[in-house]
Amino acid sequence: MNWEAFATTLRLATVTSLILLIISLPLSYWVAFSKWRFKFLVEAVVALPLVLPPTVLGFYVLMAMGPKSPFGRLYERLAGHGLPFTFEGLVIASVLYSLPFSVQPMAAAFGSVDRKYIEASWMLGVSNLGTFFRVIIPQSWAGVITGLVLSFAHTVGEFGVVLMVGGDIPGVTRTLSIDIYDQVQSLNYSSAALTSVVLLIISFVILSIVYGLNRKGWLFVANRGHRQAI
């Protein structure tokens, strides 16, 4: 078991899912409520990582970060080093790669909040932003947590993007999935088996949490204890 890779993976998944939470709350709100006629184009872009081979995504991200792109040059001037094969570069790639896993559950949850509650909030003088935090989010907890957890889990499991953008630098960009690949390449099967089982268990626990949360009314029942049954 490569503990260094384990720590890198956890760090990457945590940072990525927290950044995604911040990005996804407003983006999901927009996706759920915007009446713009070309909204479907944005939705399609958000969903792209679901179908695109990770190597394709990784390739474009690598090109966008490279010294030939304006963004890459700007970053290099500000930070003093390039983005490719760094942890920061890997975070940017992971955010793009896991975006749909964060946005889609949140947008679905926001969109399923009964419109009458939103209108009731407006009629009580509360702004759109206030309504978002006081009505929409509290009724969408399961969706928000699902988005957070799924983006975490998806980042833990990414391979192709990491290989393309991060390379395989121990302690910086070598994650557990890369480590397994390395172990198998060097015929170190017992170590690969151990790491694999750890990833399997982590994934299973995470998905159990997600499905548990989304059991009908689970959160409300938890909120209200037994009173509702009386």
Partner 1 sequence: MLLTADIVKQFDGGPRVEASIQIAGAASIMILFGPSGAGKTTVLRCLAGLESLTSGRIIFDGEDWTEIPPQRRSVGYLFQDYALFPHLRVRDNIAYGIKHSHGAVEQVAEMLRVRDLLDRWPSELSGGQQQRVALARTLARKPRLLLLDEPLSALDAATRDHVRSELAHVLRGVGIPAIVVTHDWVDALTLGDQMLVMSGGRVLQTGPPEEIFTRPQHREVAAAVGVETVIPGRIQRREAGIAVLQVGSGQIAAADPGGADVDFYVCIRGDDVALEKGRADQSSARNHLRGTVAEIAAAGILTKVIVDVGFQLVALVTRQAVADLELTKGAEVFAVFKASAVHLIPNARM
Output the CA torsion sign for 115, 117, 121, 124: positive
Rg (CA), the chain: 20
Which residues in this chain contact partner 1 in the complex, by CB under 8 A? Answer: 114, 116-117, 119-127, 134-135, 138-139, 220, 223-224, 227-228, 230
Q: Which is nearer to partner 1, 81 or 224 (CB)?
A: 224
Q: Which is nearer to partner 1, 124 or 207 (CB)?
A: 124
Q: Closest separation between CB of residue 5 and partner 1, Å?
A: 41
Tell me 167's DSSP state.
-
Q: Which is nearer to partner 1, 45 or 124 (CB)?
A: 124
Contact present, 195 and 119 (Cβ < 8 Å): no
104 residue type, one letter: Q
Q: Closest separation between CB of residue 34 and partner 1, Å?
A: 17
Residue 212 and residue 162: Cα distance in Å, rounded? 30
Q: Which is nearer to partner 1, 60 or 141 (CB)?
A: 141
Q: Which residue has the tokens 């001037």?
A: 77
> Longest Cα pair distance anywhere in the chain, in angstroms?
67
173 residue type, one letter: T
Q: Closest separation between CB of residue 160 and partner 1, Å?
A: 41
Look at residue 158 and give its three-state secondary structure: coil
Q: Which is nearer to partner 1, 73 or 224 (CB)?
A: 224
